[in-house]
Amino acid sequence: MKKKQSLDEYLLNLEARGFKFSDDIIHFIYFGKKSTNASDALMIVAVEITLKVQKEFDSSFFLSLVEQLAEQKIEDRQRALEFAEAHGLIL
């Protein structure tokens, strides 16, 4: 069985692949997680979609996306990607 990746592990993996996040951005990501009571899985896909759409980390876009996903009670990657596609964020 595949172990679910934690948000910490995901961010470290991105850093190892060349994505550099400032401490402010890391704190903002965790602020968004706490303020929306979102799961690690939801936060990971929100970071992924934000980077795909914006080509860099955009705090406003990210928080809006997390809030919308949480509001729709979307918790898994597939549904989050379907949501993003349905709203014209990704193809």
Where is pLDDT greater, at 41 or 1? 41
- Whether 91 is in a domain gets the answer no
Domain count, the chain: 1
pLDDT digits (tens, 9 = 90+) for 14-73: 999 998 899 999 999 999 999 999 999 999 999 999 999 999 999 999 999 999 999 999
- Whether 40 is in a domain gets the answer yes
- Whether 46 is in a domain gets the answer yes
- Whether 20 is in a domain gets the answer yes
- Whether 1 is in a domain gets the answer no
User: 66: buried, middle or exposed (CB in 10 Å: 19+, 13-18, 0-12)?
Assistant: buried
- Whether 33 is in a domain gets the answer yes
- How far CA 88 is from CA of 25, 43, 57, in Å, comes to 25, 20, 18
pLDDT of residue 54: 92
pLDDT of residue 1: 53
pTM value is 0.89
- Whether 22 is in a domain gets the answer yes
- Whether 48 is in a domain gets the answer yes
What residues make up the domain containing 14? Answer: 7-86
